[in-house]
Amino acid sequence: MILKCDSDKLEDYLIETEDINYSYQSISEKASELFMASINENDFVENAYTFVRDEISHYWDIQSSRITCRASDVLFYKEGICYAKSNLLCALLRSKGIPTGFCYQKLTLGDTPDTGYCIHALNAVYFTSLGRWIRLDARGNKAGVHAAFSLTEEKLAFVVRPEYDEADYLQIYKLPNAKTMDALKGHADGMNMYLHGLPDSL
């Protein structure tokens, strides 16, 4: 699988936005805490990834109605859908100068196509030591979902099933997809949004 960047400038994958607000005190403090506990840059990426994957709950898993979007809010409430969790991981890594982007998959909302489709968000991180991008999925593990950090092979939360018309989008975006952010900002109840308000295409 060959990933494609929407910008050929690595600095474009370091920009700060309202939702990737890495200058916010809590974000910079958490990034520094994770960085200080790491032996090198790759170790820091793994520590940040593991923190977001394991310590930030996916609100469908905990049946929460709260919706978070900005990285600082995701960190404060310690919950969020994949769109929000990818904002947080991006903010933590960009705060330490590590280029980080956004990738997407089209998946069935349930187990079969008759349940409809949704867009799933994950991150791509540029590893200077390797000279390449690697996708990481911090959605959060549960029964049947076992994403992990790896420098040698992708270990994502979901493997797409082409026979179900699922798809991997190969682009690495410097900003979150507008439809995914609009979903978070345009709903008041997380459960209702998850069932009825997620975009099904980019």
Angle of the 25-36 helix axis to the 82-94 helix axis, nearest 10: 70
Give the alpha-carbon dihedral of 6, 105, 34, 63, to 10 degrees.
140
Tokens encoding 7: 């910008």
Start-to-end C-alpha separation, the chain: 19
Decide if pLDDT at 105 tops 90.
yes
What per-residue confidence (pLDDT) applies to 22? Answer: 98
149's tokens: 């950090």
Strands 167-173 and 100-108, bridge-based pairing: antiparallel
- Looking at every residue in the chain, the average pLDDT score rounds to 96
Q: Does domain 4-196 have CATH number 3.40.50.2300?
A: no
Could you say which DSSP state residue 145 is in? B
Which tens digit of pLDDT belongs to each residue from 128-169? 999 999 999 999 999 989 999 999 999 999 999 999 999 999
* Cα–Cα nearest to 198, from 59, 47, 91: 59
For position 33, what pLDDT does the model report? 98
90-104 mean pLDDT:
98
Distance from C-alpha of 16 to C-alpha of 186, rounded to nearest angstrom: 22
User: Can you give the residue ranges of every domain in the chain?
Assistant: 4-196
Under the banding of pLDDT at 50, 70 and 90, the label for residue 1 is confident
Considering the chain, what percentage of its residues have pLDDT values greater than 90?
95
**Mean pLDDT over residues 56-63, rounded?**
93
Average pLDDT over residues 82-99: 98
pLDDT digits (tens, 9 = 90+) for 161-198: 999 999 999 999 999 999 999 999 999 999 999 999 99
Does the structure show a pLDDT above 80 at 68?
A: yes
Q: Give the pLDDT confidence score for residue 178 in this predicted structure.
A: 98
Tens digit of pLDDT for each residue in 32-52? 999 999 999 999 999 999 999
